[in-house]
Structure 1
C-alpha cells in the first residue's frame, strides 16, 4: 500500500511549494494594495474576515462531502477553482480597477475553495504514508509551508511594485497549474465509503462529531490547542506593534523579526523531519508549548534595549512551532479511520480558525490598557500551564502513537 511513498510526496510537495508560494504572494499583495489604495482599517478587517470565515463556518459540513469524494480530484478541483478566481480578478485589474465588492467576492470564493483543499490534502496523507512516518511527513509539510510564507510576501511585493497586482494574480494561476500537474502524476488510494445515499448533513455532521469525541486524548489535546490558539494567535498581529511600541524601532526591524520567526519555522520543520518518531508525539507537543511559552514570558519582561534578545526569542519561538503543529496533525491522521478523516480534520480546522478571532478580540483591549508586553507575558504563562496540564493528562490517557510499518522504509 505504501510503495514509493517518498517519491509520491516529492511530487506532491514540489507542486504544493509553487501553489502555496504564489498564494502567499497574492494574499500579501492584495492586503498591501488595499492598504495603499484605501488606507482604511475597516476595509482590511472586512477583507480578513471574508478570507477566513468561510473556512471556519463551512468546514464541518464540507467534511461530509470530503469523505465521499475522491480526495485527489477534490484537491485538483479546489486548486483549479482558486486559480480561476485569481484569473478573473487578475484580468479585472489588468483592464481596470475592480470595486471592493468584487474583491471581497473573490476573496470569499477563494476561501471556500481552500476549505475543500486543505482538509482533503490532510486526509489524503495517511493514505500515502505509513503510520509511523506521518510525523516526518508533517515536518516536510511545515518546511514547505514556512519557506513559502517567508518568500511569498517579499516576492509578492517585488512583482507588484515592478508590474501590477494583476501580474501577481496571474502567477497564482501558474502555481496552481504546476501543483495540479504534479498531483496528477501521483496515485492516491481512496478509502471505501459505506454510504451510497445522498448525505443528510445533520446526521452525518453528528456522526463526524461522534467519531471525533470517541478518541478522548485527541479531544483533550484539541481543547488545549483551542486555548493555546486564543492566547498565541494574536501574536502574529502584535509582533510589529511590539517592535514599534516597546523597542521604538521601524519597519525594517519589524520585517527582520518576521523573517527570523519564519526562518525558525523552516529549521524547526527540518529538525522535526529528522527526529520524527524518536519521541512520542505528545512529548513533542508538550516540549513545543513549553518552549513557546517560556520565550513569550521572556519577551514580556525584557527591557526596551534588548531588541537583539527579542530577535533570538522570536527565532526560538518559530523553531518550536512545527513540533506542535506537525505531531498534532499526525496524531489525528492515525487516530481515525481514513473514511471519516475528512469530517474530523474539517471540524478541528474550524475550531482552530474560530479560536483566532476570539483571541484578537481579547488582545486589543488588554494591550491598549496594560501595554503590549502584558499579552506576551500572559500568553506565555497560559501556554506553559497548558503544556504542563497536557503532560500530566498524557500519563493517564492512551494517546495514539505510531506503530512501525514494515513497508515504511520503501
Structure 2
C-alpha cells in the first residue's frame, strides 16, 4: 500500500514537473514581454487581474462540481484547455503581434482552466497518500514547483531572446501533453458521494461552505492568508519591474531574480519534507510570514546599486514561501472529509484569489505615483505583523490542537 502510493506520486510528479516548468517559462516570458514593451505598472496590474480574477470568481462554484467529477479527468481536461490556449497565442505571436487585449484574454482562459486543475490535484492527494504523509507530500509538491520555477525564468528568457514569445508558448503545449500522458498511467479512486435526495447545486454548495466554517483554526488562517494576498501577490508582477526601473537591469537579471527565488523555494520545500511534523503547522506559517515580511521591508530600502542584496532577499522570500503553503494545505487536508475537500479547497483558493485583485488595484496607482519600492516596504510591514499575530494566537490558545497538531 505505502509503496504503491509513492509510485503513483512519482508518475504524477514526473509529468507535472514538465508542465509546471513550461508554465513558469510562459508566465515569466509574458510578464517580461509586457514589462519590456510597455514599462507600465498599470499594464502589469491588468495582466494580473486577467490571471487571478477567473480563479477567484469560479472557485467557490467549482468545488461543488469537483466533488462530483472524476478528479483525474478534471486535471487532464484543464491541462488540455491550457495547452490549446498556449497553442493559439503561440501561433499568433509567430505570425503577428497580438494586441494587449488578446494577451489578456488568453491569460483569462488559462486562469479559468487552472481554477479547475489546482484544487482537483490537491483534493486528489488524500485519495492516494496516508494522512500522516500529507505534509511530506506537500513538501514534495513545493519542491517540484520550486525546481520548475528556478529553471523556468532562465529557460524562458533564453528561448524568448533567441526566438520569440510564440516559441515559448508552443513549448508549454508539449509540457501539458506530457503531464496528461503521465496521468493516464495512474489510477485515482473517487470518494463516495454524499447521500442526498437529488443532485442540488445549492445544497452541495451550502454543505461545503458549512464544512469550511466548522474548523475555526483553518478559517482564522484563511482570513490571515487573504490579507497576506492583498499585499504580497502583486509582488509577483512587480519583480521584473523593480529589476528594470530601480536597478536598471535587463531580462537576464530579471530571470536571475526569479531563479534565486525558485532556488529558495527548493530549499524551503526540502526543509519542509525533512522537518515535517517536527513543529505545529502554525509555527511553520508564522516563521514563513516573518521571514517574508523582513525581506520585503529590506527590499524596499536597498539602493539601486545593491542588486546582489536584492537577489539574496529574493532567495529568503522564496525559501520562506513553502513553510506557509505546505503546512497550510496539509492542515486543510487533515481537517475535512475527502468528499467535501474539493469544495473546501475551492473556497480557500477563491478567498486568496479574490484578495489578489484588491492588491493589484491598490498596487498599480501606488507604484505609478510613489515607485515600486514603496509597495515592497509596506507590504513587508503588513506581512510581518500577520505572522506575529498567528504566532501569538495559536501558541497562547492552543486552538490548533483540534487539528491533531
Under a length normalisation based on structure 1, what TM-score does the superposition of the two structures give?
Answer: 0.87
Report the secondary structure of 2:277's partner residue. Answer: coil
Contact 1:230–1:355 (Cα < 8 Å) also in 2: yes
Report the secondary structure of 1:399's partner residue. Answer: helix
Counterparts in 2 of 1:177 and 1:198: CA distance versus 1, 3 Å = farther
Which deviates more, 176-185 or 352-361?
352-361
Counterparts in 2 of 1:52 and 1:159: CA distance versus 1, 3 Å = same
**Gaps in structure 2 of 5+ consecutive residues:** none
Counterpart of 1:398? 399
Aligned partners of 1:221, 1:388: CA distance in 2, in Å? 12
Counterpart of 2:349? 349
Contact 2:127–2:189 (Cα < 8 Å) also in 1: yes
**Gaps in structure 1 of 5+ consecutive residues:** 405-410
Q: CA deviation at 1:341?
A: 0.8
Which residues of 2 match residues 299-338 of structure 1 at below 5 A? 299-302=299-302, 306-338=306-338
Aligned partners of 2:48, 2:229: CA distance in 1, in Å? 17
Q: CA deviation at 1:2?
A: 4.8
Aligned partners of 1:314, 1:27: CA distance in 2, in Å? 18
Which residues of 2 match residues 337-376 of structure 1 at below 5 A? 337-367=337-367, 372-376=372-376
Which deviates more, 282-291 or 164-173?
164-173
Contact 1:132–1:403 (Cα < 8 Å) also in 2: no
Contact 1:64–1:199 (Cα < 8 Å) also in 2: no
Q: CA deviation at 1:100?
A: 5.6
2:156 matched to 1:138?
Answer: no
Q: CA deviation at 1:203?
A: 3.2
How many equivalent residue pairs?
403
Aligned partners of 2:273, 2:195: CA distance in 1, in Å? 36
Counterparts in 2 of 1:106 and 1:259: CA distance versus 1, 3 Å = closer
Aligned partners of 1:65, 1:357: CA distance in 2, in Å? 24
Counterpart of 1:276? 276
2:103 matched to 1:110?
Answer: no
Counterpart of 1:50? 50
Contact 1:334–1:400 (Cα < 8 Å) also in 2: no
Q: CA deviation at 1:118?
A: 0.6
Aligned-residue CA RMSD (Å): 2.9
Counterpart of 2:237? 237
Counterpart of 1:384? 384
2:134 matched to 1:149?
Answer: no
Report the secondary structure of 2:313's partner residue. Answer: helix
Counterpart of 2:66? 66
Which deviates more, 166-175 or 273-282?
166-175
2:245 matched to 1:250?
Answer: no
Aligned partners of 2:275, 2:165: CA distance in 1, in Å? 41
Q: CA deviation at 1:325?
A: 0.8
Counterpart of 1:208? 208
Counterparts in 2 of 1:388 and 1:114: CA distance versus 1, 3 Å = same
Q: Cα deviation per residue 1:85-140 (whole Å; 9 max; x = unaligned)?
A: 33344445556555665554433322221111110001111211222211111111
Counterpart of 2:181? 181
Q: CA deviation at 1:50?
A: 2.6
Counterparts in 2 of 1:59 and 1:195: CA distance versus 1, 3 Å = farther
Contact 1:281–1:401 (Cα < 8 Å) also in 2: no
Contact 1:55–1:112 (Cα < 8 Å) also in 2: yes
Which deviates more, 91-100 or 152-161?
91-100
Aligned partners of 1:313, 1:105: CA distance in 2, in Å? 34
Contact 1:217–1:397 (Cα < 8 Å) also in 2: no
Under a length normalisation based on structure 2, what TM-score does the superposition of the two structures give?
Answer: 0.88
Counterpart of 2:16? 16
Counterpart of 2:6? 6
Aligned partners of 1:123, 1:167: CA distance in 2, in Å? 33
Report the secondary structure of 1:67's partner residue. Answer: helix
Q: CA deviation at 1:155?
A: 2.0
